[in-house]
Homo-oligomer: A and B are copies of this chain.
């Protein structure tokens, strides 16, 4: 109708985002996108190629993972001034908040346990870089971690991912209300405690 390819592509990509955020991958498909965008599906094939390319194009536009700045503040090196356990705890809590407010990210996290699609692949790479930067920020902190810090951080990020994903469908997990701010405060203080007591640095303990 409007004869404006750029605008059409934009409508299509926005439709992808809306469907993922509101209905998830389960109801995702070429037809659904075309409907949502009020665009003929032929145009999706013409402009993007197909489903994988469409997802890839969408992936390149969005921010599906926290940036290091979002989690560590404007100068990640600033973490060098606090003891390791405190740095780790703060990073993890910030990470938790950043992930929880990204509905599309939560959908991808849920779906990559079912099927590894283009979005999951992109997210994987981003996440890898993120992790590397995270460890760099920690490495600058005061004190040397002893014990298997990597294993502990793995456990805690896994827990955060799981609970954040799950909170979309269920209100409680165990005794904790994972839909309320209060529930997440409990989890955060548990994270702080774990970090404080298990990632021992020579100087701070």
Contact = CB atoms under 8 A, between A and B. Distances in A.
Interface string A144-180: 0001101111111111011101101110011110000
Counting chain B CB atoms within 10 Å of each CB, the highest count among A114, A147, A189 belongs to A114
Interface residues of A, number: 45
A174 B189 contact: no
Given A113-B169, A176-B150, A158 B159 contact: yes
A186 B155 CA distance: 10
Q: How many copies does the complex hold?
A: 2
A125 B133 CA distance: 41
B158 A163 contact: yes
Contact of A151 (B113, B116, B187): B187
B155 A190 contact: yes
A110 interface: yes
Nearest to A110: B113
Contacts of A176: 150-151, 154
B150 A174 contact: yes
Given A131-B174, A193-B198, A197-B197, A154 B187 contact: yes
B148 A155 contact: no
A181 interface: no
A161 B194 CA distance: 19
Contacts of A110: 113-114
6 contacts: A112-B166, A150-B175, A152-B190, A152-B193, A155-B159, A155-B194
